[in-house]
């Protein structure tokens, strides 16, 4: 624990002053939470948090998540004070363009920020993923006397985080899985933007978390000794996650505004800022921290010593378990095994030779079976749809049964599942995948967006991809979801037409390191497509010519997924009539658009203006490929309840309809 002759309140007041000054200078922000949580932060960061400001990505560091991310000046103040590469000038530039201090903490902008926390509750859900990753990785690699994975996940959360449904999903699962190194500080200040929360948030939150299986405590959030004792008790409880409700005063130190919504989301005002200085006994000018206080906060030496001690442990581990150590280091770096690319390529070619006529969801399961055997870092599961999503494979071991397992039964928690998977990716050491029906991606939509915003390597498996899934009806039949996913920046989307494209899609998702990938599969059986070796290799480029014509093409048919088969029938019919038609399979639009201009032109020439797009999804997305004068065979309504094959014919996904659309362009 840190020792200093300075009163702890003075150290905490440095956070309060920096936070209110930065918000005041920006004329925008949330000073209340940082001022209210400053005492908790001071105790945690000075007495307990294991971190190294000189090396923010040191693997065995504790993870700190500010789930109530609107209070971002709290973490920026902490990072600056403890010695991270975050200068006082950056605090002065709070919320300004290209600063390292954006309005909410953003992963990749600021050293020491572990996850982007804007939408409330998701930081807490990410933290569940981090704690799950730590526990699982420790079980996989630690050996008696060699605990090379041994760190905590700490979370600050507010009333808003606990109101959001995603916190219920994630925290319920955290209790079930017994994530004992997850410790959450609940800033119970009783205030949100609309005022006192009692009128709309009157539940007994501690009883709720106790029912989840959490260890719960209730303390004065401004009493350093009570905070220290609560942390010690939480760490002593190894079998349950911990929730420490901290009774705090929002905007603590503001004589005229503390305890009110006036401090929540607006600057205090110049007069009140001066009044705070007088009330706190902080006579220093804005953005000035006295040398003795700065020195007391500095964690660079203790951080360096902590990491050095861990490195010494790692050396001892390497000496006793050299093969495990090599594997550990590989996974920490996020690198794939050296033989993965070659073996994955052979698997794809074998799928072409096999020529299986199967549902692409089954093809996906075959890929998990093949790649899971090669990748011990592959971890994931389904939102209570394991038997429908087909995410279980022969090597699956449930985390409910074994701490070193690799399969997660997420339960009916699509939003929480996706945010937890992002937390696993952020932690490192794993490649997470999670699965549900494509329609229920909507429940998880914001977590998908956050994974893309942070460019995290997670794999989103979506089955039952269209009206072709059938009898469950329009509530379960996606229409606009593919367009939604495809228009999300940094998100790669694959909708394969058969088992070969499915294998190529899985390989692309595993090899991609700069963002999440959505893999979209059918419920219904779809036929295998014939290809040359060159065409098999071309799948990785996102789009390629599947059936070509002699001479210059007159019309192009562009299709994805299950609609490739009917489009192939249509193209052959057109060619039999003497029409020079070309079929383009476009399993991944974003990957195709990233190819060089020469490849794109070879597949879809600019002067080939007669184009038909075919997909059992929203029509408007495909206008970018076919133009206003082209044809789109797609959906402009919701679906119906009937067998899938009946619906596909009813809505016009037939060879006859596609061929007729092509002829209409030629006429």
Q: Which of 414, 501, 563, 615 is catalytic?
A: 414
| Pairing of the two strands 182-188 and 153-158 | parallel
Enumerate the β-bridge partners of residue 381. 408, 434
Helix (H) or strand (E) holding 38: helix 32-43
The tally of CA atoms less than 13 A away on the side-chain side of residue 368 is 30
| CA dihedral of 615, 619, 624, 630, whole degrees rounded to 10 | 90
Say if CB 70 and CB 11 are below 8 A apart.
no
Q: Which phi and psi (to 5°) does residue 154 adopt?
A: -110, 140
Query: C-alpha 219: how far from its chain's center?
Result: 32
Say if CB 262 and CB 272 are below 8 A apart.
no
Residue 401, judged by CB atoms within 10 A of its CB (0-12, 13-18, 19+), counts as exposed
Residue 266, judged by CB atoms within 10 A of its CB (0-12, 13-18, 19+), counts as middle
Neighbouring C-beta atoms of residue 378, cutoff 10 Å: 21
Strand, helix or coil for residue 653: coil
319 among known catalytic residues: no
Say if CB 599 and CB 542 are below 8 A apart.
no
Q: Torsion-angle region of residue 652: left (phi > 0), alpha (psi -120 to 50) or beta?
A: left
d(CA 316, CA 568): 60
What separation, in Å, do the N-terminal and C-terminal C-alpha atoms of the chain show?
82
Q: Given strand 492-494, what is the order of strands in its sheet?
A: 407-409, 378-382, 431-437, 459-463, 517-520, 492-494
Enumerate the β-bridge partners of residue 65. 155
**CA-based radius of gyration for the chain:** 28
d(CA 652, CA 667): 20
Taking alpha carbons only, the member of 48, 45, 57, 55 closest to residue 14 is: 45
Q: Which phi and psi (to 5°) does residue 562 adopt?
A: -65, -20
Q: Which residues are catalytic?
A: 414
């Amino acid at each position: 624990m840190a020792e200093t002759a300075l009163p702890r309140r003075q150290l905490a007041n440095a956070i309060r002053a920096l936070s209110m000054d930065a918000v005041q200078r920006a004329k925008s922000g949330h000073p209340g939470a940082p001022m209210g949580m400053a005492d908790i932060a001071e105790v945690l960061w000075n007495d307990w948090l294991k971190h190294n400001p000189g090396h923010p990505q040191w693997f065995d560091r504790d993870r700190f998540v500010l789930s109530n991310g609107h209070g971002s000046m709290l973490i920026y103040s902490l990072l600056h004070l403890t010695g991270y590469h975050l200068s006082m000038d950056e605090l002065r530039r709070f919320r300004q363009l290209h600063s390292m201090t954006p309005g909410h903490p953003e992963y990749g902008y600021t050293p020491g920020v572990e996850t982007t926390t804007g939408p409330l509750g998701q930081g807490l859900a990410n933290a569940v993923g981090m704690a799950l990753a730590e526990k699982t990785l420790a079980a996989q690699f630690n050996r008696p006397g060699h605990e090379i994975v041994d760190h905590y996940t700490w979370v600050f959360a507010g009333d808003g985080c606990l109101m959001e449904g995603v916190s219920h999903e994630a925290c319920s699962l955290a209790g079930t899985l017994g994530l004992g190194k997850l410790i959450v500080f609940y800033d119970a200040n009783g205030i949100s933007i609309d005022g006192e929360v009692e009128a709309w948030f009157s539940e007994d939150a501690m009883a709720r978390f106790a029912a989840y299986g959490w260890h719960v405590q209730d303390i004065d959030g401004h009493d350093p000794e009570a905070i220290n004792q609560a942390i010690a008790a939480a760490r002593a409880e190894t079998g349950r996650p911990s929730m420490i409700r901290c009774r705090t005063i929002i905007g603590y130190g503001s004589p005229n505004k503390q305890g009110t919504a006036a401090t929540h989301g607006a600057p205090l005002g110049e007069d009140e800022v001066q009044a705070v200085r007088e009330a706190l006994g902080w006579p220093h000018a804005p953005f000035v921290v006295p040398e003795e206080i700065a020195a007391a906060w500095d964690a660079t030496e203790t951080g360096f010593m902590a990491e050095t001690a861990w490195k010494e442990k790692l050396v001892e581990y390497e000496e006793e378990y050299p093969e495990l150590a090599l594997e550990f280091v590989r996974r920490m770096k996020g690198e794939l095994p050296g033989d993965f690319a070659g073996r994955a390529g052979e698997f794809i070619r074998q799928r072409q030779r096999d020529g299986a006529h199967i549902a692409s969801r089954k093809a996906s399961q075959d890929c998990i079976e093949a790649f899971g055997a090669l990748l011990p870092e592959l971890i994931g599961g389904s939102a209570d749809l394991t038997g429908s999503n087909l995410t279980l494979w022969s090597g699956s071991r449930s985390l409910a049964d074994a701490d070193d397992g690799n399969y997660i039964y997420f339960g009916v928690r699509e939003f929480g599942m996706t945010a937890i998977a992002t937390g696993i990716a952020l932690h490192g050491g794993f490649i997470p995948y999670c699965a549900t029906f494509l329609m229920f991606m909507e429940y998880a939509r914001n977590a998908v967006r956050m994974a893309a915003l942070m460019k995290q390597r997670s794999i989103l498996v979506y089955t039952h991809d269209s009206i072709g899934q059938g009898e469950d009806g329009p509530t379960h039949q996606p229409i606009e979801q593919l367009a939604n996913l495809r228009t999300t920046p940094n998100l790669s989307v694959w909708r394969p037409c058969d088992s070969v494209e499915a294998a190529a899609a899985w390989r692309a998702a595993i090899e991609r390191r700069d963002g999440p990938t959505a893999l979209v599969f059918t419920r219904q059986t779809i036929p295998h497509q014939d290809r040359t070796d060159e065409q098999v290799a071309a799948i990785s480029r996102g789009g390629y010519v599947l059936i070509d014509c002699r001479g210059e093409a007159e019309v192009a048919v562009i299709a994805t997924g299950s609609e490739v088969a009917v489009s192939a029938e249509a193209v052959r019919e057109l060619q039999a009539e003497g029409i020079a038609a070309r079929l383009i399979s476009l399993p991944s639009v974003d990957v195709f658009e990233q190819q060089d201009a020469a490849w794109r032109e070879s597949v879809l020439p600019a002067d080939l203006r007669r184009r038909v797009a075919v997909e059992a999804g929203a029509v408007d997305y495909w206008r970018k490929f076919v133009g206003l004068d082209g044809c789109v065979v797609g959906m402009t309504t919701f679906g119906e309840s009937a067998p899938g094959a009946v619906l596909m014919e009813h809505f016009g996904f037939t060879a006859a309809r596609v061929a007729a659309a092509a002829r209409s362009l030629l006429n």
